[in-house]
């Protein structure tokens, strides 16, 4: 059955898309261990990104084969970091080591990436 009525809001299906913005990534500012704002940052993609979906599938497969679920969670989160301000290569391994040694940043980042509003265009 073909629908021909338009809604009163004149929205298009694309107006609801979240993946394109989530795929672009945004800057996540880092706090120092004492809670003050630092000049360092991470560029992260959101939990609605295609990168997240791919990393999620990979970590779930590993978890189902008996791998440590906490480590898999850390790996998943580290895969969402696509760049950073540090003067060292931003690889999955270096990001993973960083997050495992900064639990306060890991916790904040985990909350940040699942908040869709952090990845939507500001109007």
**DSSP type of residue 13:** G
pLDDT digits (tens, 9 = 90+) for 51-75: 999 999 988 888 888 878 788 889 9
Query: What does pTM read for this prediction?
Result: 0.84
Tokens of 31: 């706090």
- Quick check: 1 pLDDT over 60? no
Average of per-residue pLDDT values in the chain: 90
Query: What pLDDT, on a 0 to 100 scale, did the predictor assign at position 13?
Result: 87
Percent of the chain at pLDDT > 70 equals 91
Q: What is the DSSP letter of 85?
A: S
The mean pLDDT of 35-56, rounded to a whole number, is 95
Which of 33-47, 55-69, 90-104 is predicted least confidently?
55-69
Instruction: Kindly state the tokens that stand for 6.
Output: 């338009």
Q: What is the pLDDT of residues 10-29, one digit of tens each?
A: 788 888 899 999 999 999 99
Determine how many CB atoms are found less than 10 A away from the CB of residue 69: 13
């Amino acid at each position: 059955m073909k629908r021909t009525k338009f809604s009163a809001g004149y929205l298009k299906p694309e107006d609801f898309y979240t993946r394109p913005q989530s795929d672009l990534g945004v800057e996540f500012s880092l706090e120092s261990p004492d809670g003050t704002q630092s000049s360092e940052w991470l560029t992260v993609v959101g939990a609605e990104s295609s990168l997240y979906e791919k990393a999620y599938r990979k970590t779930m497969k590993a978890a189902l084969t008996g791998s440590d679920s906490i480590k898999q969670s850390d790996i998943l989160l580290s895969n969402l970091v696509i760049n950073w301000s540090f003067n060292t290569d931003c690889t999955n391994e270096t990001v993973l080591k960083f997050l495992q040694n900064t639990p306060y940043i890991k916790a904040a980042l985990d909350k940040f990436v699942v908040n869709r509003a952090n990845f939507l265009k500001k109007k």
